[in-house]
């Protein structure tokens, strides 16, 4: 086998997971990539394409096969070309370099690794580069420069995209040279480990981590751990000692955990709800929270797109672009519920039109109800900065925000089916079982975000575009209608 730099990095994160990827792809790839994972891959490709503009004469090597390797050797021998994705293979290692540029002053080559992130992640990016340098040196290439090319978070777009300002180039040669011998040794160890045909022995150390840390092969390696286990207890991943105590006592089922150790309030509530099928409702606390509300009530939700490459003036890398909102308005407790929506269909900045529409529906009085206020409040603040004429409006809105999620995160209502979460996707089926996201074409924010970008980039046929625009509206509308219905159900039991 040839160990790629991607698998070496995966090995550094978890040797067993890397082994599973290579030898048991049926298990490793059993679950489909999430929208978030797909977005990360697409973003990486997009940023790489943009970064290549910094090297206008670069030549791309396509493929990873022997032909590509020979083409690489050919171009390197010419010593006059910048090469994108040259392929190197030697002693069981393989890597494609993002950019290899001839350095005539030192008669060597400079490596540039392109990362679609705002920051350098030393645990990943430097090891990724060190792997490449070690391999290039094995191949007899004189490496005279080692650089990380990543997005510059300070850059704010103003007019035409400034490619030079969009990126930061960090010279990391010294750091890489310092770690090279350690990395070379580790590469040999990784190659030996990953070449073994037999599945590695030993337990999966993730049994000591919360559910969100488990990889796609966790179930295969830990068949004794139930689907819903102590790993799903609220924030148990941050209470390492507690989880270790449970696991070392062979406690995996939530009902076995009761009374074993001292849990946090939310963890104990989750256990009680599960074990005794008990619904905890603190009516007095909910009533107190609701007494803060002022009519009209505005149930508001944004959908956003975080673009790595700033698309419009005033945006930096990964700033969220609000492109859609849904708003349900209840003027008085007795009024009929009104619904408003906005979906930007143009390829220009959605903000001015979105804000104009929002201002025509949200008045100067009344509570603005959202689910997880840090998100909506941050978008409001950012829009106020980008459109200074609307700053006061958004300050007023933010001053009136009421986070309905807090009823659940503050433990005023706990149900076993929430499974320790206060996500609207968990709360809705319990409080309003007749409403569901399950049958929708777009079911969650990540898909909405991707769908909108494809829509405005003209990636859909006419018919598909109509269907997707409608699906976006239905999805966002459900978010705010769900909030209204949850609010109503809670009100009804007070």
| Smallest distance from ligand SF4 to CB 8, Å | 15
Closer to ligand SF4 at the Cβ: 206 or 490? 206
Nearest to 455 by CA among 477, 474, 472: 472
Q: What is the nearest approach in angstroms of ligand SF4 to the Cβ of residue 214?
A: 5
Minimum distance of ligand SF4 from residue 372's CB (angstroms): 28
SS3 content of the chain, % helix, strand, coil (to 5): 50, 15, 35
In the three-class reduction of DSSP (H, G, I as helix; E, B as strand; rest coil), residue 284 is classed as: helix
| Shortest spacing between CB 218 and ligand SF4, in angstroms | 4
Q: Which lies closer to ligand SF4 via its Cβ, residue 221 or residue 411? A: 221
Q: Please, which residue, 58 or 200, has the CB nearer to ligand SF4? A: 200
Compute the least distance from the CB of residue 303 to ligand SF4, in Å. 32
| b/e per residue 387-406 (b: at least 16 CB within 10 A) | beebeebbebbbebbbbbbe
Among residues 149 and 243, whose Cβ is nearest to ligand SF4?
243
- Residue whose CB is less far from ligand SF4, 17 or 326: 17
Question: Nearest CA to 452 among 428, 427, 420, 475?
Answer: 475
Determine the Cα–Cα distance for residues 77 and 74; give it in Å rounded to an integer: 5
Question: What's the sign of the alpha-carbon dihedral 416, 30, 36, 237?
Answer: positive
Cβ 126 to ligand SF4, closest distance in Å?
Answer: 21
CB of 208 to ligand SF4, least distance (A): 9
Measured from the CB atom, the residue of 209 and 443 that comes closer to ligand SF4 is 209
Cβ proximity to ligand SF4, 248 vs 356, nearer residue: 248
| 3-class secondary-structure state, position 326 | strand
User: For binding to ligand SF4 (CB under 6 A), which residues are involved?
Assistant: 14, 16-17, 204-206, 214-215, 217-218, 221
Residue 418 DSSP label: G
The Cα-based distances of 396 to 262, 356, 453 in angstroms read: 43, 15, 30
Dihedral (Cα; 180, 45, 316, 111), 10-degree rounding: 30
To ligand SF4, the closest distance from the beta carbon of 182 in angstroms equals: 22
Question: Considering beta carbons, is residue 147 or 221 the nearer one to ligand SF4?
Answer: 221
Q: Which residue is nearest to ligand SF4 (CB)?
A: 206
d(CA 447, CA 455): 12
Q: Residue 417 in contact with residue 426, Cβ under 8 Å?
A: yes
DSSP state of 122: I
- Angle subtended at Cα 256 by Cα 249 and Cα 204, rounded to the nearest 5 degrees: 50
């Amino acid at each position: 086998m040839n160990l790629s730099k991607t698998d070496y990095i995966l090995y550094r994160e978890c040797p067993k997971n890397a082994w599973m990827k290579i030898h048991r792809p049926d298990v490793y790839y059993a679950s489909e990539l999430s929208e978030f994972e797909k977005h990360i891959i697409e973003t990486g490709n997009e940023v790489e394409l943009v970064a290549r503009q910094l090297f206008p004469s670069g030549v791309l090597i396509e493929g990873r096969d022997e032909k590509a390797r020979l083409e690489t050797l050919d171009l390197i021998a010419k010593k006059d070309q910048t090469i994108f994705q040259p392929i190197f293979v030697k002693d069981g290692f393989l890597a494609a370099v993002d950019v290899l540029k001839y350095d005539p002053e030192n008669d060597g080559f400079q490596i540039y690794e392109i990362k679609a992130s705002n920051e350098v992640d030393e645990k990943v990016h430097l090891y990724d580069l060190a792997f490449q340098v070690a391999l290039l040196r094995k191949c007899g290439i004189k490496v005279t420069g080692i650089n990380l090319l990543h997005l510059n978070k300070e850059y704010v777009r103003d007019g035409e995209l400034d490619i030079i300002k969009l990126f930061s180039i960090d010279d990391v040669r010294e750091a890489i040279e310092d770690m090279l011998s350690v990395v070379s040794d580790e590469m040999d160890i990784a190659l030996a480990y990953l070449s073994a045909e037999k599945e590695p022995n030993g337990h999966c150390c993730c049994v000591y981590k919360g559910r969100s840390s488990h990889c796609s092969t966790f179930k295969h390696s830990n068949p004794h751990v139930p689907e819903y286990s102590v790993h799903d207890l609220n924030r148990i991943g941050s209470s390492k000692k507690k989880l270790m105590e449970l696991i070392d006592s062979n406690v995996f089922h939530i009902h076995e955990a009761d009374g074993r150790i001292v849990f946090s309030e939310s963890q104990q509530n989750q256990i009680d709800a599960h074990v005794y099928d008990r619904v905890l409702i603190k009516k007095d606390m909910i009533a107190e929270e609701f007494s803060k509300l002022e009519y009209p009530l505005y149930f508001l939700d944004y959908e956003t797109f975080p673009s790595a490459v700033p698309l419009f003036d005033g945006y930096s890398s990964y700033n969220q672009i609000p492109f859609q909102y849904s708003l349900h308005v209840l003027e008085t407790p007795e009024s009929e519920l009104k619904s408003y929506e906005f979906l930007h269909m143009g390829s220009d900045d959605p903000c001015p039109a979105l804000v104009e529409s929002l201002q025509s529906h949200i008045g100067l009085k009344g509570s603005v109800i959202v689910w997880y206020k840090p998100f909506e409040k941050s978008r409001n603040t950012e829009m106020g900065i980008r459109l200074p004429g609307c700053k006061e409006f958004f300050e007023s809105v933010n001053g009136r925000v009421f986070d309905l999620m807090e009823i659940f995160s503050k433990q005023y209502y706990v149900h076993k089916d929430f499974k320790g979460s206060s996500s609207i996707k968990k709360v809705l089926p319990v409080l309003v079982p007749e409403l569901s996201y399950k049958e929708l074409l777009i079911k969650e924010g990540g898909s909405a975000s991707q769908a909108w970008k494809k829509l405005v980039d003209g990636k859909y046929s006419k018919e598909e575009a109509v269907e997707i625009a409608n699906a976006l509206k239905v999805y966002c509308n459900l978010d705010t209608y769900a909030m209204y219905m949850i609010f109503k159900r809670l009100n009804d039991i007070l």
